[in-house]
Chain A
């Protein structure tokens, strides 16, 4: 019953104007160094957006700001029309429907694959529910479904610390899936993956768009080409260029700072 309340809570992300995330005039500085410098970024509902940029362009800082880990010095970040993310804590933001995959794969290594998914699963996450309730049938079905999607059915009772690197990346994506967020932020999903794994990941992410909005930060150009219709290039904490992969690649400014190097 309470999970229904949560459901309504999440669908209350107001996307009437077609946009799910508004990052406006955001500046973050660390000891005088501006990691983000008057950044403006808009993500449409259901869009799959790739963000590229050289090291230090502010990609990870941007994710930190959206998920509440870092507070901006200036600017506003809105989730839908009405949720001011700069006033919310990490767990509130997660609960509101933003999921994040870290650059370095971060799973619970001492828990089994199944338990990892159980912990991430969209459900009431207060203490008493965690203490007293067990997984119900629907939730088990959801977890089993996610195990199928990420191809770890056979590994479900293995400790996550024993998984191969690519499998760990997939597990973390699976954890995001069962968290059922409206917006997924994915930091370098294919780092260290084999060619085949990269292709599978591209397919998976493409299939998520539409139902979820997905923002992917990645260095791997072939990967971006295979999934993105819109690309944003960050440079020195602000947006340098935005458009289709083709437009961006032919943009002389981009060529200069990034692709040309």
Chain B
């Protein structure tokens, strides 16, 4: 696509970030620090219309075909966790980023950055899992890369996957499409992935039966799009949780989002862990859930379509889009009053007080 000359007033400089001059873990948390990094460094550096949409995938029109293109890196500890591993996660994460654009995922790349000394058997298990997940999702891994770094320079293994899919005609999903009156649909209980990982963290361990919800969501999305074309936007609430995803939509669409706390499904195990560690499930990561912003008249039919799919059996309408307080997410709490659901600066930390 042609490079349009940009108007003078949209010129921006990649200004250095304020505050310390060091990258912190929080910059990768999916919260405010991540958003700042993207806004202040990456967006100005690479400015173009496809990137400016700020969705989970870029939509590229080439010879009349609309391609969805995305990339994601996976750095999970432990490598194997209840409900999945870094291999299956690397497929699901990228397939889902494509699916959130309404695309049919087709091809993946897989790049492995391996720390010297990783047992070969571990690598084989991860690759087998990745292969299985790709086959289950109906995508092929068509290109790849391998690098090995010195012991101590990596955390066992990091995987990057990129993906390409095709967006069907008539589908145009984007985070700037939410309109007042739209309903917010959530495909199931939140926080499973984050809590399953946290349960394994040294120093915080607890016994639980929570498994990661890691799953490929494209067939769920296809079912939803089959039920109605009045879906404005889809997001999978990964890092930063439901809160970050909805704050991004509210910001990009210039609307308010109003949640109903009682309508949000949370598993008893996830609630228990959150109570114990002082965490809010709205900020905990998911890897197999989606949020849909749907026109009010289509909400019920999309909801039924979701519930017919195994990954959407617990789907619920959890709120609506409003013209009041634009760019802000609020929630009616279980006891009645309303509060703000802010984006966190960095990772949510267990608290003692």
B partners with A? no
